[in-house]
Amino acid sequence: EAGVVQSPRYKIIEKKQPVAFWCNPISGHNTLYWYLQNLGQGPELLIRYENEEAVDDSQLPKDRFSAERLKGVDSTLKIQPAELGDSAVYLCASSLDLTGTQYFGPGTRLTVL
Amino acid sequence: GDSVTQMEGPVTLSEEAFLTINCTYTATGYPSLFWYVQYPGEGLQLLLKATKADDKGSNKGFEATYRKETTSFHLEKGSVQVSDSAVYFCASLKAGSYQLTFGKGTKLSVIP
């Protein structure tokens, strides 16, 4: 069974540029999560989807971050414009349902110059 | 709120040494507990889990026992290998919730 797929794996951009990350969850997993992982820290939740609905986006900086999960499968996380402090690893995870074990993708390492 | 505390790293061990990484949690109720491993340049992989008190999770020679009385979930391995070099994260999942709470991670380096 394929795991959570993310792309790109690495992205380098200049500040004020837009950037987008893509995630394909494990087939059949209704719940999708985006996490932010700063260097030397554990992941922190940004947003959670149940199917196509964002049911918890309280930690998402909405002035520059946005996300969507059209058709309840793939998801895209966007930053516009990016700032230096956004340099981090962005992790996508999925689970069968709300309380199921979360499985993580390899992440996208973003560097903002 | 819930929190997870791990021993600070980095931890450096020789091959075949015994490993212990301490993890304690604070939570209301009885959370599920997890250890995730992150190899260099990769995302988090689930290593093992336990869902109730006295459960022992095990995988790839690693073990951890859910101790309610000490609110701990220490990770152990009897004989580490160079390939075990990675960052290990302890996490708790509140009962009935999706909210994973992670520790800060412990970096393990195993030298030949």
Instruction: Write out pLDDT tens, residues A11-20.
Output: 999 999 999 9
Cβ–Cβ gap A107/B36 under 8 Å: no
Cβ-based contacts of B44 with chain A (< 8 Å): 43, 91, 93, 104
State pLDDT tens for residues A99-108: 788 899 999 9
Q: What is the DSSP letter of B1?
A: -
Reply yes or no: is the peptide bond before residue A43 cis, omega within 30 of 0: no
What chain A residue is nearest to B49 in terms of C-alpha separation? Answer: A101
Length of chain B: 112
User: Minimal CA–CA distance to B86: which of B66, B65, B62?
Assistant: B62
pLDDT band at A1 (very low <50, low <70, confident <90, very high): low
pLDDT in tens, B24-71: 999 878 899 999 999 987 888 999 999 999 999 999 999 999 999 999
Q: Give the pLDDT confidence of A31-53 residue by residue, as tens digits.
A: 999 999 998 888 999 999 999 99
User: pLDDT (tens digit, 9 = 90+) per residue, B3-35?
Assistant: 999 988 899 999 999 999 999 999 878 899 999
What is the pLDDT, as a whole number, of residue A15? 95
Q: Which residues of A touch B (CB under 8 A)?
A: 4, 6, 31, 33, 40-45, 48, 56, 89, 91, 93, 95, 98-99, 101-107
Q: Which residues of B touch A105 (CB under 8 A)?
A: 43
CA–CA separation, B11 and B54 (whole Å)? 27
Closest-CA residue in chain B for A42?
A: B104
Cβ within 8 Å, pair B98-A4: no
DSSP assignment string, A19-66: EEEEEEPPTT--EEEEEEE-TTS--EEEEEEETTEEEE-TTS-TTTEE
Chain segment A39-88, per-residue pLDDT in tens? 888 899 999 999 999 988 888 998 999 999 988 899 999 999 999 999 99
Dihedrals phi, psi of A14, to nearest 5 degrees: -90, 155
Structure tokens at B85: 């070099």
Give me chain B's average pLDDT, please.
Answer: 93
